[in-house]
Amino acid sequence: GDSVTQMEGPVTLSEEAFLTINCTYTATGYPSLFWYVQYPGEGLQLLLKATKADDKGSNKGFEATYRKETTSFHLEKGSVQVSDSAVYFCALSALNDYKLSFGAGTTVTVRA
């Protein structure tokens, strides 16, 4: 079945450092790919998405590019802030499906 594998955490960075969280997927066909973020004490929020190969999703300085050839959707941010401390989840769904398959989540802590 469809699945997502993302790098294990926790990840600890200093402010203004570069962040990458790796995500690879296994799916039949061409799934839609998502990154969700969970800030402390809050529910998950959609951070960005990409629905077809070579699409780049972006939001709040974060970017991820849908790479069909490497079945990857790595999340990047060039200069992190303390407020980016959160748990990040990679997820996928089959085309027009309603179910999301989530990775295990990566905890990111940014220190001032």
Partner 1 sequence: GAGVSQSPSNKVTEKGKDVELRCDPISGHTALYWYRQSLGQGLEFLIYFQGNSAPDKSGLPSDRFSAERTGGSVSTLTIQRTQQEDSAVYLCASSPGQGSNYGYTFGSGTRLTVV
| Closest distance of CB 14 from partner 1, Å | 26
Nearest approach in angstroms of CB 40 to partner 1 is 11
Total interface residues for partner 1 by CB under 8 A: 25
Q: Which DSSP string corresponds to the chain?
A: --EEEE----EEEETT--EEE-EEEE-SS--EEEEEEE-TTS-EEEEEEE-STT-EEEETTEEEE-BTTTTB--EEESS--GGG-EEEEEEEE-TT----EE---EEEEEE-
Considering the complex, state which of residue 82 and residue 95 has its C-beta at the smaller distance from partner 1: 95
- Please, what is the minimum distance in Å from the beta carbon of residue 19 to partner 1? 20
Q: Which is nearer to partner 1, 17 or 55 (CB)?
A: 55
Q: Find the binder of partner 1 among 43, 69, 70, 112 (CB under 8 A).
A: 43
Interacting residue ranges for partner 1, rule: CB under 8 A:
4, 32, 34, 36, 41-46, 49, 51, 89, 91, 93, 96-105
